[in-house]
Amino acid sequence: MNASKVAQTIVLWTIGILFLLPLYWLFVSSLKSDSEITRFPPTYWPETFVWSNFPEIWEQLNFHVSFSNSFIVSVPTVFLTVLFSSMAGYAFSKKRFLGREALFTFLIATMTVPPTVLLLPLYFIITKMGMFDSLIGLIIPFSVTVFAIFFTKQYIDDIPTDMLEAAKVDGSGDFRTFFTIIIPLIRPALTALIIIDFVQNWNSFTMPLVLLQSEDKFTIPLKLALMSQDTVATPWSKILAANLLSLMPVLILFLAMQKHFVAGLMAGSVKG
């Protein structure tokens, strides 16, 4: 290895360690005792590992309720998003219908709408439809995304139309073609989409903040945020322990499916 490569390696490792520092600090702080966490200067490695922080904060916050709420919201939302959006992506890619081009251009244009513009009207619309303070209000309105339509359309565009014609000649109906040919062929894209959408829904904070009222309906980010607002009772070690627990599902999903996730994001972002 020549001198410039050594220098580059040192730079890479230094920045990498700097990036890891917040996560390292999250991990060690979550294992400190209530008294050790308040010390200054802080200890760089816990004197004793207080693993009991995790079960204690889990109990204290009734975290199993928030965890199941987050799953109850995220899993159906992701399922519906993938289904509805790929159906629309199929229609936009392979079907002819009135106003297709105009509608698609319009959809792309809506991607510039800042989320804050939607916040207030969505609150009223969802409330008027009787979905205030219910988990269903976080599922149905978010079960299609323009990004997902755009994303699936790009992949369906690559499927040769001849193949679909052949299926039609063989007597395959539209829905059968969709479920037995299209869906299996774009499976890699759908995997990426599932991960992207799950992470997004799992991390969603603003809409739950506006739409949920009773504590037994709170999703994870909402519960975490509101706990940290009344820090009088909870020491930082416990807050960070809860924080670490809340990260686990997306972290595990990411590490297990990293390749799909990264490939999907790159395809979606660069073409878009």
Partner 1 sequence: MEIGRFLTTEDNMRFLKRHLGDLSAYVFILPSFVILGLFLVYPVIWSIIASFKDIPPIALRRSGLFSIPGEVVGFKHYADALQNSLFIKAVFNTLYFSVIYIPITMFGSVFLAMLVNKALPGTNFFRSVFFIPYIISVVSASLIFMFLFNGDRGLVNALLSNFGIAGPNWLASTLWAMPVIAIMSCWRNMGYYMLIYLSGLQNISKDLYEVADVEGANGFQKFRYITWPLLGRISLVVMILLMINSLNVFQEVYIMTGGGPSDSTVTLPFLIFNRAFKYYEFGPAAAISYLLFIVVVIVTVIQKSIVNKRLG
User: How far are the Cα atoms of 11, 25, 75, 137, 138 from residue 143, in angstroms, in the given order?
Assistant: 43, 36, 11, 10, 9
Of 37, 57, 183, 211, which one interacts with partner 1 (CB under 8 A)?
37
Q: Which is nearer to partner 1, 65 or 87 (CB)?
A: 87
Establish if 88 lies at the interface with partner 1 (CB under 8 A).
Answer: yes
Site map 109..148 versus partner 1, x via CB under 8 A: -x-xxxxxxxxxxxxxxx-xx----------xxxxx-x--
The correct pick among 71, 84, 167, 191 for binding partner 1 (CB under 8 A) is: 84
CA distance 139 to 207: 11
How far out from the chain centre does Cα 220 lie?
13
Q: Is 247 in the site for partner 1 (CB under 8 A)?
A: yes
CB 81 within 8 A of CB 143: yes
Pick the piece of the chain touching partner 1 (CB under 8 A) from 40-48, 49-57, 155-163, 183-191.
40-48
We find the least distance from the C-beta atom of residue 20 to partner 1, in angstroms, to be: 6
User: Closer to partner 1 at the Cβ: 54 or 254?
Assistant: 254
- Determine if 179 is a binding residue for partner 1 (CB under 8 A): no
Report how far apart, in Å, the C-alpha atoms of 12 and of each of 23, 140, 163, 179, 265 are. Answer: 18, 44, 47, 46, 23
* Nearest of 248, 214, 242 to residue 227 by alpha carbon: 242
Specify the residue, 216 or 271, whose C-beta has the smaller distance to partner 1: 271
Which tokens is 12 given? 């890479």
Residue 87 interacts with partner 1 (CB under 8 A): yes or no = yes
**One-letter amino acid of 188:** P
Q: How far is the CB of 51 from partner 1 (least distance, A)?
A: 19
Task: Select 67 or 92, whichever has its Cβ closest to partner 1.
Answer: 92
Supply angle C-alpha 27, 198, 64, rounded to 5.
Answer: 60
**62 in contact with partner 1 (CB under 8 A):** no
Interface residue with partner 1 among 63, 90, 147, 151 (CB under 8 A) is: 90
Q: Cα dist. 173→94, 178, 180, 184 in Å?
A: 14, 9, 10, 16
- Least separation in angstroms between residue 55's CB and partner 1 is 20
Nearer to partner 1, 117 or 163 (CB): 117
